[in-house]
Structure formats: C-alpha cells, structure tokens
Amino acid sequence: MDAVPIWKQIEDEIRRLIAVGNFGEGEPIPSVRDLSKDLRVNPATVAKAYQRLSDAGLLEVRRGEGTFVAHSPAPIKKSDRREVLEAAALRYASMAVTMGASAEEALAEIRDALEKLAGDGNRRTS
C-alpha cells in the first residue's frame, strides 16, 4: 500500500477535528505558516490541504483575516462523496485486516465512531 501523502494526512486530520468539534463553525484555524512550522513541513504542503478543504466547502478564506471553518459547508456531489468514502473505507479496512480484526469488530468500531460524532451534534450530513 502506498504511503499517504502529508498533505492528505493534514486534510484528513482537519476534517476529523472539525467533525469532533475541536474547530467549530466560524472559528479560525492555524495559518499555513504556523501549521507548517509546527509540523515541520513545507508551507506548500499545508496550503494544498487547506485549498482542498476550501474547495470542498469546509474552510473559507477571508482576505486579510485568515482561514476559518465554513458556516455552511457546500453540499458535496453524491459521486464525489462516494469516491472519498470508498478511499477512506479501503484505508480503514486495510488497517483492520493487517491487525487481524474481524469484520464484526471493524464494523463495530465504525458504528461507534459514527454514533460518537452524531451524539456530539457535530456530524455533517451534506
């Protein structure tokens, strides 16, 4: 299996932080410069992750102010959503298989994670 690019890891982690409520709607996120310094990665790497999240409607850039979690994320086309979910599911399933987890155990973890996010009232349904 190919290694996950750093920009994708950043994108996935910010999505997770938004989903669990660590970054709420309208809240600022770290600047490209600050995050790249903290992670010790090239600013272009962080910028790519931010651009993809902005294109997806999760972040909004306010010129002169910074980057913020969007108030109303743009709806994602069903075909695009399916493609992203499929890729994430394959990564998760690969990890579960290599760890020796049963299908039941892996699915139970997915259900628990979804319930936790829904229970926190932060689950995005668009």
Element (H, E) at 102: none
Q: How would DSSP label each residue in 28-86?
A: B---HHHHHHHHT--HHHHHHHHHHHHHTTSEEEETTTEEEE-SSPPPPPHHHHHHHHH
68-119 pLDDT, tens per residue? 999 876 666 777 778 878 888 888 899 899 999 999 999 999 999 888 877 7
Instruction: Note if the pTM is more than 0.85.
Output: no
Fold of 6-69: Arc Repressor Mutant, subunit A (1.10.10)
Q: What's the confidence (pLDDT) of residue 105? A: 94
- Contact between 76 and 126 under an 8 Å Cβ cutoff? The reply is yes
Element (H, E) at 104: helix 103-119
22-66 pLDDT, tens per residue? 888 999 999 999 999 999 999 999 999 999 999 888 999 999 999
**120 token code pair:** 């926190």
Top pLDDT among 11 and 72 is at 11
Per-residue pLDDT at 123 exceeds 70: no
Place of tokens 């902005």: 54
Closest CA to 71 of 13, 121, 23, 7: 23
Q: What's the confidence (pLDDT) of residue 1? A: 46
Per-residue pLDDT at 7 exceeds 70: yes
Q: What's the confidence (pLDDT) of residue 76? A: 66
Residue ranges per domain, the chain? 6-69, 78-119
Give how far Cα 105 sits from Cα of 6, 76, 93, 98, 109, Å: 28, 30, 11, 13, 6
